[in-house]
Structures are given as C-alpha cells and as structure tokens.
Amino acid sequence: MVTSSQLITAEQARNSAFDHALHGTSGSGQGGLKAMMSKDNSARKAAMDQYFQHWDDKKAEDETAEVRKARTDDYASLTRQYYNLATDIYEYAWGSSFHFCRFAYGESFPRAIARHEHFLAHNIGLRPGMKVLDVGCGVGGPAREMVKFAGCHVTGLTICEYQVQRATQYAAKEGLANKLQFVQGDFMKIPFPDNSFDAVYAIEATVHAPSLQGVYSEILRVLKPGGTFGVYEWLMTDAFDNDNLEHRQIRLDIEQGDGIAQMVSIQEGLEAIKGAGFELKHHEDLAAHDDDGGEEGSQSVAPWYWPIGSDVRYAQTLWDLVTVLRMNRWTRVASHAMMGALERVRVLPYGTKATAESLGKAADALVEGGRRKLFTPMYLMVAQKPLEAGQQ
C-alpha cells in the first residue's frame, strides 16, 4: 500500500501545493455551497483557464483529431482540474455518490443510488475480509456503501487530492476509518504493487482515461489472479453516428461538461477490456432497460436521466423533490443567476457560475443522449483476471 513516506515527483508536489492554495481548509469542513465560498480566487481562475482551454465552446463541426488528441494527452490535468472545480457543486446538488442509477417503480433517489452500488457489489462477489480497490472513488460515497453492504475493506483511488480529504473525513465521521483508505493517484499508473486486490470496481470513472485498454490493463495488474473487476462505463451506443453533427454535438457537450477527454463506443469498450487481458464474464447496457416515461401522468418506471431533466413527476419523497430541484433544467437557470450575483459580490469565487453552466450544458446533453439512446452511463462489464496471469 502507498504510505506518506514514499517519494513524490516534482509535478506531484506542484499539484499538491496548487490544490492546497485553491481549497484551503475546505477539505476538512462542510462541503457543498459552504465549501464553494472558501476557495482562492486566483487559484480558481488558473484552474478554470487550464480546464476550459481544451474546449472554448467548440462546435461539433470544428472538432478535429488533433483537438481530441490534445485533450487525451492532457487527460491527467484535465481530470484533476475538473474535479477541483466540480466536486463542491456535485456534493451540493447530487450527494456523495457521483453516479447515475436505474429506478424501480416507486423507488426514492437515495435507495436507487444504493441499490445500483449493491448490484455491482453482488456481481463482483464482494465479501467480508476482501481487499477491494475503488478506481475513481470521488468523495467515497460508493466505497462507504460497499463496506456497509459487504463488510470488505475498500481502498479508494482518485486523482483529486481534495476528494481524498473529503472522503477521509466522511469515513471517520461514519466510524468506518478502519475499513476505508483513500489515496491520491493517477489510475493510468496505479500506485500499488502487482496482485494487491481481491476485487476492483469503477463506477462511471474510467471514462476519464485517455485509453480504456490502458486503464483496464493497470487494473488487471493490481488485481490478484482469479480476481474480479466490475465497471459501470460511460459509452456511446450503436445508435450513435459521429458523422451526424447533432449526435456529435451531444457527445462533445457531455465531454466538456464532465471533464472527459474522449468517449468511445460500446464495441470499443468491449475490445478494450478483452485487449487488457481480462476474461469477460458478463456485459449489458443497464440503461437500455428503462422506460422513457410512458403516457403523461403515468407512474411508469423512471428513466435514469430524469433527475437532471425537466420532469419532476417521478419524485417519490420531499427529499427527492428538493434534491432534483437543485439539478432540474428549469431551476438551474435561477440557481446559476444566483451564483453569478454571489460571484459579483465575491461571496462565491471566480468561475463558479461558468462551471455550473458547463455542468448544466452536459446535463442537457446527457438527457438528450439518454432519450435518443445514443449514450449510456451504465454499461456493465464484469470480468475476471485469468489464474495463469499470476504465473507470467
């Protein structure tokens, strides 16, 4: 396991110093809106400039192979700055589990989120005593749920040092510090020895990788022979046509608003996990099974994207309604106007409104991509590391 005594590179030291300057002590305080208020303006402006240079609101017809290569080459900086900018907004609007989920009839938002995590835990066979790696752990919401559900030990890995601080704080608050460890690192160079973990999972995180086969290969390396890897992957479906400019704009808006260098197709995802050396045991698009609403006023099963759309009829509880109204398409307009006003009087730091608007653009594209079945945030792949891999 990684220890604090290990040497770090000069680049890591610079990144750490920058992150501390940006976030101050907010990593150990209350998250969400309050944390947004305590950022350093000059550092946030630098983070904004570094992140948005890769898009600058480019249109689909302006995208070139060179532009996409520049993003993938800079994936680490792009992803780190994205989560430096977006983590507090995610916590404020969505909670501590940064992912989508399916909804059963009459199911509340928190229960659906937890069930989605439990389903993955079941599919990869998590049990007490297992050492498990969460690749791209965010602020640790899923990791805490996995520990409670399966009794295993989870190590969370994230490129964002601020998320490590927040995840560590939450683990201690819930009395789970002995079952959880959070580490800052790049999942393209996972900072653990070969054959370290009994199981590995990733929930909507490896989409940030410049190469799916590359990140899956790293996961294979740290997984013990016979161990299982499960992932909910963001992928473009067979219905997506990159030559269709409307389709391409949807993909581009999702990528810009969600810090993604490039998204690939389902077929490419399947080829990547097999190419990494895994034995693929099961795969399916869980988003393909939802119902996109049915007749007006019906209580049919809610689609995965409903919380970020404009339809609140699926809300099952008052808390559902409050949560969804923070993300709903129409209330985002008022929320972003409020953020802009608070930014002008320096209650919120520079770029808060622009970051929220970029996330909002992505939300609209996610809804449209989901409605047209062009995109899935939950392509499930369950794979095993061959037993003979440990003998190589």
Q: Where are the alpha helices (DSSP H) in 40-160?
A: 41-52, 65-73, 75-93, 109-123, 141-150
pTM: 0.92
- Beta strand 153-158 with 375-384: parallel, antiparallel or unpaired? unpaired
pLDDT at 146 over 80: yes
When pLDDT is averaged across residues 306-335 and rounded to a whole number, the result is 84
* pLDDT for position 236: 98
- pLDDT interval class at 385 (50, 70, 90): very high
CA atoms within 13 A on the CB side of 158: 29
* Structural domains in the chain plus CATH codes: 10-385 (3.40.50.150)
* pLDDT for position 375: 97
* pLDDT for position 3: 42
DSSP three-state, residue 333: helix
When pLDDT is averaged across residues 111-115 and rounded to a whole number, the result is 96
Interval 263-315: pLDDT, tens: 999 999 999 999 999 999 999 999 998 654 444 444 468 899 999 988 888 88
Interval 191-241: pLDDT, tens: 999 999 999 999 999 999 999 999 999 999 999 999 999 999 999 999 999
Three-point CA angle 265, 328, 308, nearest 5°:
20
